[in-house]
Structures are given as C-alpha cells and as structure tokens.
Structure 1
Amino acid sequence: MVQIDSPSAAKGEGGRYTLSPGTLTAVVLAVCLAQIALSVPSLINGLIQQDLAPSSAQLTWITEAFMLPVAALGLGFGVFGDLFGRKRLLIGGAALIVVGSALAVLVPAEGSSTDTRVTLLILAQVLNGIGAAAIFPTSLAMVAAGTHTIATRARGVAIWATALSVGGFLGPLLAGVAAKIDLGWAGNANWRWAFVGVLVIAAVSVVLSLALAQNSASPEGRSVDWPGQITAALGLFALMYAVIQGPESGWGNPQIVIAFIVAAVFLVLFVFAESRAAEPLLLLSVFRNRAFAMNSVVTLIGMFAFLVIMYGTSIRLTTIQGFSPLQSSVAYLFFGGIGFVLLPLTSKLLERYNPRWVLCTALTLIGASGLWFAGIPTSNRALGAIVGPLILAGVGSALAFAAISAVAVNTLPNHFAGMASGVTSTFRDLGFALGPAIAGAVALGRAADEIARKLAGDPELRSAYEAFQASAAHAPADQRPQLEAAVHAVESGPLGANSVPASITLPDGQVVPLNPLKDVAFEALSSSYSLAYVLGGVAALVAAALTLVGARGGVGEAHLEDDPHTLVG
C-alpha cells in the first residue's frame, strides 16, 4: 500500500490528521448541499419563466450565474483552505448559500420590472455559486488530507462522489415538491419554496460543520498568490461571459469579441504569473505529469458532456414537454439514486483497478446515454421511455465523479490536497458551466433559425403571428396585460414561444386560438435538443478515448519529480 503523509493542522493517530466520522458527515452534507443548490434552478426553469418572464438569455444566466463563480474561484478556494483551514471554508461556503437562498426567496413577486427581479435572482445565484465554489474543493481536500492508504482513500473519495450524485437527485426532488406548495400570495411563485429548502439544508450544514468537523490545513509552501488569483478569475469570468452571452448578442458583436480577447489576455497573464511566482496558486509543473494533465482535459470534456445531457433532459422534460417539476424529479430518481446504490462497488473498483479503466467505462456509458436520448422523439411523453438512458447516465456519472477525483488526489502529495482538489474542481466546474451554455447556444440558435425559416416560408403562419402580436392592442382592458405578457414570452425566443399555449378556453367554454407558433416552436426545439444530445454523447466518447490513449500509471503511482514544491509519494 502507498502511504501518503499529510502535514495538517488537525493531527490524529501517529501525528497525522485522520478523517473522522464527524468530519466525513459534515463533508457529505456540505457536498450534498452544494450539488442541490446547483441542480435546483434547472428543474424550476418553467416556473421561473411563467413568473418572471425572462428572455432565453436571462433564463440561461439564472443557471450560469451559479456556475460562473464555481468555475472561476474553485482553484483559489482550494489554496485558501490549505492556508487558513478547511473547516472555515466549509462553514463559510454553507453560510453564503444561506444568504443567497434567502435573497432568492425575497425576489419580489410583483410590482417590479422583469429586469429588476431577474437581476436579483441572478445575484442570489452568484452568492450561492461562491458558496459552492468554497465547498467543492475544500470538502475533497478534507477527504484527501485525512486518508493515508489506497483503501481508505478509495472509500473516502467514493463517499464524496456519492454525495455529489445524491445531491444531484435530491435537488430535482426538492424542486418538484416545492412546486406543489401554494404560497397563496403569488400565482407562479412556487419556485421560491425550492430555495427555502436549500436555505434550511445550508443552515443545518453550518451547524453540523461547526459541531462535528475537524479543521485541517497544509500551509507549507503555500501563500496567497494575488496575481494568479486575479488573472485566473478575470480570465475565466470573461470566457464564460462571452460563451453565455454570445448566442443572445451575436458572436460578432464587439462586446463578445472583446470578452474573448480579455479572456485570452488574462489567461496568458495567469500562466506568466504562475511561472514566476515563488509560491504559485497553481504549480504549472503538475501538468508535466501525463496522468494529471490528461485527467484535467478529460475532466473538462467529460463533465461538459455530462452537463449537456442533463441540461438537455431538464429542458426536454420541463420546458418543452411541460412536465411538472415533481414529475421530472421522479425521472431523476433513476439517475441520482444509482450513485447511492453503487457506493460499495465504486469504492472496490477504485481500490482494485486503475482509475483510468473505471473512468473510461464511465464516460462510455455517459456517451451511450446521450446518443440514446437523441433517438427518443420528444413527442413521446412517457417517462418510461427515458429510464434506460437515465440509468446509463447515472451509473456513468457516479463512476466518473469518483474516478476523476481519485486520479487527481492520488497524483499529488497530501500537502497539496487543496491544489489537487482545486484544479479538479476548476476543470470539472468549467465543464459544468460550458455544457449548458454551449448546448443552449447550439440548440436555441438552431431552433430560432428554424422558426424564422418557417415564418418566412409560410404566409398564412406569418399572417397569424402578426395578428397575435397586435392582439393586445385590440383586446378589452381587463385582458390586455395577459395578452401583452403572452406576446412578450413568444417574442423572447423559442422557449418562450413553446411556453404559451396554442389556444385558450374562455369562461363560456369556447376554445379560441392564441399562439400560432406553439407547434412550430415545439418541433424546432425537439430537433435542436436532439442535436445537443448528440453533441454531449460524442464529447463523452472522445473523453473516453483520450482516457485510454493518454493516461498511464496505476493508483498512487503518478509522482511529481524535480520540483522544490513537491514530494515524491
């Protein structure tokens, strides 16, 4: 067995910090919390659309506002945990999610403009994302620093990865139950109850971490690298902004072009700063190790693929097919529950086999699920039709989360647990952030083009649409606000056009036509999100192939040599 020593703040048997049951409990709840906070918004997109009437770009930003700080700040928080104590960051991250969730609950139901309310919700998501950015690398570093053999490391990482999977299906379940609760004072505001649930879980996480978690730190050879922190955060932020806003503003828009240039400049400056820092945020020499470098690339591509598939499924079920959040959450039980069931097997696989084989298998399963999803027509509204690909994705993600984390923390010595966790979290979460952004850009852009093509080629449809746009001006005063809202939703993009019914039933029972683009939008979204599934499936298979050809070395065998900041394991 490989012994991996850990200079830490909290010492256990033999003078080493050892992961205690209390610390593991606090870590599991915190990771679950962060993953729940991540997954909740995607399942209540439909309710948010009805209540706040955001544009397609605004709806994307509500999700991406969480992922942006997670991707940009994960590496920095990994180092902060090494320096100042990981327990503090675990508590602070959960406390920030309490604040962010409270702000989401307090978003005005009425009386304010759509832009104001959406901005407040986006700000709430940013706060939640910063909290999760602290939790993800810190929690994994606590597991890595407190485990000293391959067996205990495999078990700890498997439990950590299972907590991610469990949070991934508890989030949709929470959103589904919340959507059934009637607040009584706002028609479509039930989505706020989901954030109430997140707030309560976050508060419990703060209390448990205070009471049960042991502190650990690894300050040796570490310091706050402000040039690295600032250039990395600005570069990643500019990159994500350009990718998310590009479909709405246009890729040739000067604002988007400038954002890409800013991203490139700051990321180059980050590499320059790290190559000259005495105690860098990221040791560039870690990427000389082929296993670690390839694992980082595979993490980015694989998690991108996984989120494309999960994001596409969320949009398919809630926004396109119109399932309630509770119905959608039942489907996600087949996905998330698999991770919990597989916990004993995952631990044994990581202990017995090279993690690259586990990861390759996992990514192949994820790829197969994406291609399977692409072949299931959206007109098939039976939940049973998607159980198979959901199970494949569930098995694949449970194994992938654990294998990716195992390769990362087994490659670097324990006193760099924060760096290893931070790098892995950054690449994983960058993939998470890019997945919905790129899938949404591809799918919504193609759907919008298809709708425009149908309007241009069908004079009768175009005439009906123009009459619909003018309907509010000729309606009775008491009906005008509802019609204006319907027209605004349809004009906001393909998702909005699909959300407004084709006809409505009047109080006297008469059925009258309303939205002439409903069926057109449904068909356009169906074909475009099938393309997104193919994109996710192919990306996962590419990542699986890279795992085979690029990674080498067994568990605990990847060492960093010839670097004054590292130890040979």
Structure 2
Amino acid sequence: MSSPSPRRGTGLLLALLAFAQFISAIDYNIVYVALPEIGREVGFDAQNLQWVVSGYAVAFGGFLLLGGRAADLLGHRRMFTTALSLYGLASLAGGLAGDPGLLVAARAVQGLGGALLLPATLSLIATTFTEGAQRNRALAIWGGAGAVGLALGSLLGGILTNYLGWEAVFYVNVPLALGAAAAAFAIIPADAPRERGHSFDLTGALTATIGFTALVFGVVQGPEAGWGSTETLVALFGGALFIGLFLLVEARTAHPLMPLRLFRNRSLVAAMGITFVFMGTFGAQYYFFTVYLQNVRGYGALATGLAFIPAALVGMIGTKLSEKLLGKVGPRTTIITGLLVGGAGMAVLATAMSPTGGYPILLPGVVLLSLGQGIAWTAMFVAATSGVDAHHQGIASAMASTTQQIGSAVGLAILVAIANAGVHTTTGPDLVPGLRTAGFTAAALTLLGVAIALTLRRRTPAPAPTATSTTQPTESNISA
C-alpha cells in the first residue's frame, strides 16, 4: 500500500521525516556515555551491562522485515505514528525502570519502535519524492539529520547524565517522539483504504522475526558467552534454520512478506551488501572512539560529548556533498568515494591514538571518517530504493536496513574481539594497541564494500525527453 502521492506540504513532510531520523539516531549514541552510571545505579553487573545496548539492537534487527511489510500493507502514516508512539512510551518506561530486567525490556520495545519507524520513513520519502535529483536531495537531508543525531547523541548524553542523571537520556525522547507522532496527523496525508486481495503473510512474519532476532542475539552474545557456548550456537543455528524456513515460505506463498523477485534488482542487492559492510566498519567507530576518550584518556561524559561535535558538523557536510555527487556521478561512484574517504579516516584515526596524545591530533581522522560516512550513507539508501515500485518501498528499505543491523552486530563483535585480544584491563594505556588494530582492520574491511559497490551499474546519461514520453523505465521496476 502506498501513501497518497500529492506534493502537498512536502517541505514540512521532509522536515518531520528528518526529525524522526534525528530522534532515532540520537538514541544510538546517547546511551553509551550513560552506561557507567546506569550500571552503578540500576544494578547491572559487568557481564550484563551490554544488554542496555544489545536489547535495542536485537529487537531492531529482528523486526525490520515485519515493519517494512506492515508499512506497505497497513499504511505509511499509520506505521509512522505507531512507531513513534511505541518509542516514546518505551523511553518513559526506561527512565522509570528500577531494575535491569525492566530496563532491557524497555530498550527492546524501543528497538521494536525503531524497526517500525525506519522503513515507514524511507517509504514516505520514496513515494513522495521522484526518483532522481528530488529523492537524492530528500535522502541527503534525511541522512544529514541522522549524521547530526549520531554525533550529538554523545554530547546530549554527556550533558544530561552529568547534570540530571542517567534517567534523563530516556526522558528526553518522550516529548520528541510523541510530539512528532502528533504532528504526523497534520502533516502526512491520510493512508488510502487498504487494498483488497493482499493478505498479511503471518507465517513469513513469524519465521523472519524469530530467525533474524535469534541470529542477531547469537552474534551479540558470542563475544561475551563465547562462540562455542551452547546459548550462542543454539541462537546462531536456530536463527539460520528459521531464516531458511522463511525463504521457503516466501517462495511458495501468494502474498509474501518479502517477495523473492526483489532480489532481481541488482541495485537493491548491492545496497544490502554495502549496508552490511558500512555498519560493520563505520558503525563501530563511535564505540571505539568513546572507549579511547573515556577509558584511555580519562574524559568524562560531558567532555566526551563535546569531542563529537566536529563529527556532527562534518557529517552534515558529507551528506550535502553526497547529494551533489549523486547528481553528477550516480550512486556507484558516490558510495565508493565515501567508503574510501571514510576508510582512510579510520586508518588515520587509529594511527593518532596514543596513551598521551591530545585531542587535536585526532581531528584529521575524525574529519575524514565523518565526511566519508556522510557521503556513503545517503548514497546507500538511494541505491536501495532505486527501481523499486511504491508497493514494495517499505520492504525494500527494510531489507537493506536488516543487513545494516546484522552488519553492525557482526562488525562490532569481530572488532571488539580484536581490540580485546590479550588485554586484561578495561582502562589505561594497555588498551591502545588493540584499539589501533581494530581501527586498521575496519579500514581494510571497507574495501569489501568498495568491491560490492563496483557491481552497481555505471551512471548513464538520461535520454532527452520526447513529446510522447514523460517517464523512463528504471533498472528493475518490480511490481506486485
């Protein structure tokens, strides 16, 4: 189901969608700087504290496909407002939580809200803005809001934790999310009546959700419990089994949750691989930068947040530059440029890390990393939504976002294992060699993303318009 198409109030609509992405992105980092205080105040032990972050990641990754198809079938505005409402209420519950179990449960519901929100947001962009320059600009603004949110999340988390306590990093989301949900009813056109004949693939939804949730759980739990532990192996093999069942169901059902013919779209398939590599490398850098500043250099929560301001500003520049590059050279070259620049930034940042070095020496790496991230982020989702019809924008966005979340979990697990190899402390200069090795490894792995991006079609000049033709076929315009 697509949202009605009018261009009514597209500026306000884009501002609302960008604001929703800003809220979601803030939450990615806002909790990191509050983790030490959360552990002390709520009663987490060192082994379970990671689940404040991982509870969100597992639910987010597990429910994305369900969220994507729900947006297509039930309506983009309906899912957008539902997602934000869930997010806001779960944030309130998180701030009120008095024990670890309740807090992790609240984070999981936040993750569910995020899984419903992201595909609904991308669907609204894809169905409102025409493929090409108009959509590229919209995605650049949306991506810029996310880049700012990622970087300012650390700053905001530091300020709130420092002055108001850890609860404030949850309470801040409540008015933002619920206010955006209320505004959506005035700004987003009402969903069209649900189309007849399109039933919801319940079996596919259940097998996909169980499969991807178990898979992400296994990857997240592996470094802590051990890759050979029973719980890790059961989660990984069980997840793989359910994903296999999901693909069998999709091949046989009349109205699949994820139509397998979408895999004929070369641009979407490449984007899925690129988002996996991107989040496995770029996404981990915020974690390692925070560990270096706090655990090696002794920065407090507020100082750590302030250290992320250059990343926010440069990330905005990167998304704007991405828009210009997309118009001139297309997604293929833009993604490759972003990955190479960002990979170079990771190597430069890793080189600059030392037990005694000051903050200015880190800035060249931070600038290159953030610039590359902004360039690649927008272009990845341009590739993911190219050539997909309006009825499948939600599920296509969810497919690329699912690989993104799995990549984040896999990449962080691998890089943390590399950083911690042979290290028997959580603070001090002994952490630096491992952090540098993890940075160099992530930089090398970005080349895998470059190799995948090379499979995208080269940009070809658009044919001159004729009097009898007003639209052009896309690479793989897949219909329901």
Q: If the length of structure 2 is used for normalisation, what is the TM-score? A: 0.91
Partner of 1:207 in structure 2?
182
CA distance in 2, matches of 1:402, 1:215: 27
Whether the 8 Å CA contact 1:222–1:280 is kept in 2: the answer is no
Query: How far apart are residue 134 of structure 1 and its match?
Result: 1.3
How far apart in 1 are the matches of 2:384 and 2:193? 17
| Residue 4 (structure 2) aligns with | 10
Could you tell me which residue of structure 1 aligns to residue 138 of structure 2? 156
Aligned partners of 1:244 and 1:438 also within 8 Å: no
Partners in 2 of 1:152 and 1:22 — Cα distance? 15
1:94 equivalenced with 2:84 (yes/no):
yes
Give the Cα separation in 2 of the matches to 1:154 and 1:337.
Answer: 20
Structure 2 equivalent of residue 187 of structure 1: none
Q: 1:176 aligned to 2:151?
A: no
Shift of 1:546: 2.5
Which whole-Å deviations, capped at 9, do the CAs of 1:203-234 have from their partners, x for residues lacking one? Answer: 22222223322234696685421122111111
Q: Report the residue type matching 1:161 in the other structure.
A: G
Superposed displacement of residue 63, structure 1? 0.9
CA 1:243 to 1:217, structure 2 compared with 1: closer, same or farther past 3 Å?
Answer: farther
**Residues 441-477 of structure 1, C-alpha deviation per residue, up to 9 Å, x if partnerless?**
4434x1xx442xxxxxxxxxxxxxxxxxxxxxxxxxx
SS in structure 2 of the partner of residue 44 of structure 1: helix
Structure 1: distance between partners of 2:441 and 2:47 = 21
Cα distance, 1:552–1:50 mapped onto 2, change above 3 Å: same
Identify the match of residue 248 of structure 1 among 208, 224, 248.
224
Q: Tell me what 1:166 maps to.
A: 148
Match for residue 407 of structure 2 among 426, 431, 434: 431
In the alignment, what sits opposite 1:529?
435
The number of aligned residues is 468
CA 1:223 to 1:378, structure 2 compared with 1: closer, same or farther past 3 Å?
farther
Larger Rg: 1
Alpha-carbon distance between aligned partners in 2 of 1:340 and 1:304, rounded to the nearest angstrom: 21
Check 1:169–1:223 CA distance in 2 against 1; reply closer, same or farther (3 A cut).
farther
Which of 544, 552, 560 aligns to 2:450? It is 544
Q: Which amino acid aligns with 1:279?
A: H
Deviation at 1:53, TM superposition (A): 5.7
- Given candidates 166, 180, 184, the residue that maps to 1:191 is 166
Identify unmatched segments of 5+ residues in structure 1.
1-6, 109-116, 183-189, 452-493, 499-521
The one-letter code of the counterpart of 1:86 is H
Shift of 1:149: 4.5
Aligned partners of 1:11 and 1:557: how far apart in 2?
19
Decide whether the 8 Å contact of 1:74 with 1:422 is kept in 2.
yes
Q: Which amino acid aligns with 1:127?
A: V
Superposition deviation, residue 22 in structure 1: 2.5
Percent of paired sites with the same residue: 26
* 1:558 to partner: Cα distance: 5.2
Partners of 2:191 and 2:331 in 1: how far apart? 27
Residue by residue, what CA displacement relative to the aligned partner does 1:228-284 show, whole Å, maximum 9, x if unpaired? 211111111111221222222222222222222101111111111111121111122
State the Cα RMSD in Å.
Answer: 2.3
1:464-503 to structure 2, matched below 5 A, reads: 494-495=425-426, 498=427
Residue of structure 1 equivalent to 2:72: 82
Shift of 1:41: 1.2
Q: 1:149 and 1:547, CA in 2 relative to 1: closer, same or farther beyond 3 A? A: closer
The residue identity in structure 2 corresponding to 1:40 is: I
Match of 1:554 among 459, 464, 467: 459
> Do structure 1's residue 314 and structure 2's residue 290 form an aligned pair?
yes
Letter in 1 for 2:44: P
Counterpart for residue 131 of structure 1: 113
